[in-house]
């Protein structure tokens, strides 16, 4: 792909607007976060000078944006186990197993879902760069379940907007330590970095808005099976909200306690509803509980 250069001359109608908002409105094939990243990297200039995303546009400003061809993907294709629930020319819906990291990072260089996708899928969107091709949203390493992947940039933009606008619906099942008092409800807090441990998230006064709906599906002596519906998508949101409610997810080593016989938390993304980027049709996908999750539930049921 050749280098792309866009140039705009600001007219009176757009004077006073933010640079990043203006670019999003005129380059709808790219997400605002992607364009903001280009601005931060100096790929966008105003009158030949680098500026910030919030730059206030002036009449006759010359805005120039350069998009270089994507780097060659250095992440290697690997045979990583996961199920493809649905696939077409635009999207792939996968069922990620527990224990698989979604994309390479400083601590995990291989064996990720992205490595597996590169082995099995020909095309993936390039918006998120060479280490996260096609990745629109993520699941924690020890969380299993459904995740949608974009095969082209147009699909990526559409899916990212659906998540941002809360039209993409994500539902999870979790087993909690103890029983919630209410049968259903909504948790509304702010979530940010834990001030005592920067590797963890926590409910904070200065974090970002986090909204989770919950419904108890089944109660046991010392546990409950809960359906969670995400209204926002903060890091570790369900796990943090479960702890905040006083009932962390069973097996969550970070926000609860380790459970013998489990390799991680009993949290599964079982339902995903989205609008197809090309057809506009609403589609819903479901993934059955993993065997270890179902076995634990059956054990609780036998205990009464």
What token pair was written down for 103? 């994309």
Please identify which of the residues 61, 140, 177, 252 carries the catalytic annotation.
140
Helix (H, G, I), strand (E, B) or coil at 187: strand
Whether residue 119 contacts residue 77, with contact meaning beta carbons closer than 8 Å, is answered with yes
Looking at the chain, the number of H-run helices and the number of E-run strands are 6, 14
Dihedral, CA of residue 22, residue 23, residue 27 and residue 29, to nearest 10: -110
Measuring CA to CA, which residue among 137, 139, 140, 141 is closest to residue 99? 141
Q: How many CB atoms lie within 10 A of CB 282?
A: 11
Whether residue 236 contacts residue 252, with contact meaning beta carbons closer than 8 Å, is answered with no
From residue 234, alpha-carbon distances to 191, 257, 284 in Å are: 7, 21, 22
- Residue 140 is among the residues annotated as catalytic for this protein: yes
- Cα 228 → chain centroid: 16
Strand partners, 274: 283
Give me the DSSP letters along 114-180. HHHHHHH-S----TT-SSSTTB-S---TT-EEEEEEESSHHHHHHHHHHHHTT-SEEEEEEEEES--
Residues belonging to the active site? 140
């Amino acid at each position: 792909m050749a280098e792309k250069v866009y140039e705009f001359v600001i007219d009176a109608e757009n004077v006073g607007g933010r640079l990043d908002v203006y670019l999003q409105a005129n380059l709808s094939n790219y997400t605002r976060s992607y364009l903001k990243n280009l601005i931060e990297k100096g790929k966008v200039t105003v009158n030949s000078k680098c500026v910030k995303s919030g730059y206030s546009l002036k009449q006759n400003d010359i805005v120039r944006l350069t998009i270089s061809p994507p780097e060659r993907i250095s992440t290697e294709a690997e045979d990583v186990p996961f199920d493809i629930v649905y696939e077409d020319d635009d999207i792939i819906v996968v069922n990620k197993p527990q224990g698989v990291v979604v994309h390479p990072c400083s601590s995990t260089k291989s064996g990720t879902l992205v490595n597996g996708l590169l082995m099995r899928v020909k095309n993936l969107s390039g918006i998120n760069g060479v280490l996260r091709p096609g990745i629109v949203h993520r699941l924690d390493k020890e969380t299993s379940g459904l995740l949608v992947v974009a095969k082209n940039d147009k699909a990526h933009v559409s899916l990212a907007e659906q998540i941002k606008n809360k039209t993409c619906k994500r539902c999870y099942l979790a087993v909690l330590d103890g029983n919630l008092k209410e049968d259903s409800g909504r948790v509304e807090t702010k979530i940010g970095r834990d001030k005592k441990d920067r590797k963890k998230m926590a409910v904070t006064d200065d974090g970002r808005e986090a909204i989770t709906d919950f419904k108890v599906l089944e109660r046991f002596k010392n546990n409950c099976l809960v359906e969670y519906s995400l209204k926002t998508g903060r890091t570790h949101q369900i796990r943090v909200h479960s702890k905040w409610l006083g009932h962390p997810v069973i097996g969550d080593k970070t926000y609860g306690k380790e459970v013998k016989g489990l390799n991680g938390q009993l949290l599964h993304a079982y339902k995903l509803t989205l609008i197809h980027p090309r057809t506009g049709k609403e589609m819903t996908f479901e993934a059955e509980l993993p065997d270890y999750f179902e076995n634990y539930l059956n054990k609780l049921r036998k205990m009464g």
